Amino acid sequence: SQTIHQWPATLVQPVGSPLSLECTVEGTSNPNLYWYRQAAGRGLQLLFYSVGIGQISSEVPQNLSASRPQDRQFILSSKKLLLSDSGFYLCAWSAGGHGYTFGSGTRLTVV
């Protein structure tokens, strides 16, 4: 069966520090992968999506970047965090079929 792992679950980082959030998928190949951010009390904002290794599409200009070094690995990064980067980050995958499967999320607090 397919599973998605996202870590860490929570993270507190100072302003200006780097960020790396990792997401891996098991049990499928060539998935579409997504990074979403959910600000407190608000909906989901699509940050990046990838349809294959090395292929990244960005939905909004921002302080973050994404990479897909392997078929089932998706990484969200920043060189220098801003206070406004705080939020709940969700990784998801789909195979073009019925719906997305989401990871359990990472709560990032930038202080």
Partner 1 sequence: GEDVEQSLFLSVREGDSSVINCTYTDSSSTYLYWYKQEPGAGLQLLTYIFSNMDMKQDQRLTVLLNKKDKHLSLRIADTQTGDSAIYFCAESIGNYGQNFVFGPGTRLSVLP
Q: What does the binding site for partner 1 look like in residue numbers (CB under 8 A)?
A: 6, 32, 42-44, 46, 49, 51, 90, 92, 94, 96, 98-105, 107
Least distance from partner 1 to the Cβ atom of residue 90, Å: 6
Interatomic CA distance for residues 8 and 54, integer angstroms: 23
Q: Cβ closer to partner 1: 42 or 80?
A: 42
Cβ(76)–Cβ(35) below 8 Å: yes
The residue among 15 and 51 lying less far from partner 1, judged by its C-beta, is 51
Q: Least distance to partner 1 from the beta carbon of 96, Å? A: 5
Contact between residue 47 and residue 6 where contact means Cβ atoms under 8 Å apart: no
Which neighbouring-strand residues pair with 3? 26
Q: By C-beta, is 9 or 82 nearer to partner 1?
A: 9
Q: How far apart are CA 10 and CA 33, in angstroms?
A: 21
